[in-house]
């Protein structure tokens, strides 16, 4: 996966959003944040610590955002018996 600079990401999103403005800026921000978090969680196999690191935020901040955005991530199995 290619890394995008913040400026390039803003350019891409601005072009897409401005062409189809039907929601408030806040709604667009929430939708974008949710989608980014879900993709990073998918990339890390649901590992919140790795996801937070990739996002450049603290794990506690990610946990807050997950709760705020109503994103449910199953906890990995902590103990294995067998």
Report pTM.
Answer: 0.69
Query: When comparing pLDDT for 61 and 73, which is higher?
Result: 61
* Half-sphere exposure in the Cβ direction for 13 (13 Å, CA): 15
The yes-or-no verdict on residue 6 having pLDDT over 80 is no
Between CA 46 and CA 44 the distance in angstroms is: 5
Asked if 66 contacts 41 with a C-beta cutoff of 8 angstroms, the reply is no
Between CA 81 and CA 10 the distance in angstroms is: 47
- 3-state secondary structure (DSSP) of residue 72: coil
pLDDT in tens, 40-66: 999 999 999 999 999 999 999 999 999
| Domains (range + CATH), the chain | 25-71 (1.10.10.60)
């Amino acid at each position: 996966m290619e890394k995008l600079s913040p400026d390039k990401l803003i350019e891409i999103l601005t072009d897409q959003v401005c062409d189809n403005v039907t929601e408030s800026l806040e709604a667009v921000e929430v939708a974008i944040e949710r989608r980014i978090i879900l993709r990073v969680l998918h990339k890390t196999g649901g590992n919140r610590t790795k996801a937070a690191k990739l996002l450049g935020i603290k794990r506690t901040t990610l946990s807050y955002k997950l709760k705020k955005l109503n994103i449910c991530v199953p906890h990995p199995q902590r103990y294995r018996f067998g």
